């Protein structure tokens, strides 16, 4: 279930709620009971741990090739 972030206009508290996408725009009550809240725009960051993935290999064995898109195949 998605997690949404809200800010209370009355006390300034920022809090998160797990709720279905269909209810993302529904009014939210802050932990202190205030109802004047606004949903914040959140971004998602996906990160890995260092050394957990092998480096991407280049097409053609990694020797030259030029460019960086599609392993150098589309940039001469």
Q: pLDDT tens, 5-48?
A: 999 999 999 999 999 999 988 899 999 999 999 999 877 666 76
- Contacts of residues 5-13 at CB distance under 8 Å and 24 or more positions apart, as own/partner, are 5/39, 5/40, 5/42, 6/30, 6/37, 6/38, 6/39, 6/40, 7/37, 7/38, 7/40, 8/32, 8/34, 8/36, 8/37, 9/34, 9/36, 9/37, 9/38, 10/34, 10/36
Confidence of residue 74 (pLDDT cuts 50, 70, 90): low
Share of the chain above pLDDT 70, in %: 57
Q: Give this prediction's pTM.
A: 0.54
């Amino acid at each position: 279930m998605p997690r949404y972030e809200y800010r209370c206009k009355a006390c300034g508290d920022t809090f998160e709620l797990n709720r279905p996408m269909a209810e993302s725009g529904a009014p939210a009550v802050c932990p202190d009971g205030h109802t004047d809240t606004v949903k914040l725009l959140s971004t998602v960051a996906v990160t890995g741990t260092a050394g957990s993935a092998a480096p991407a290999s280049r097409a053609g064995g990694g020797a030259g090739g030029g460019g960086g898109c599609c392993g150098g195949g589309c940039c001469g």
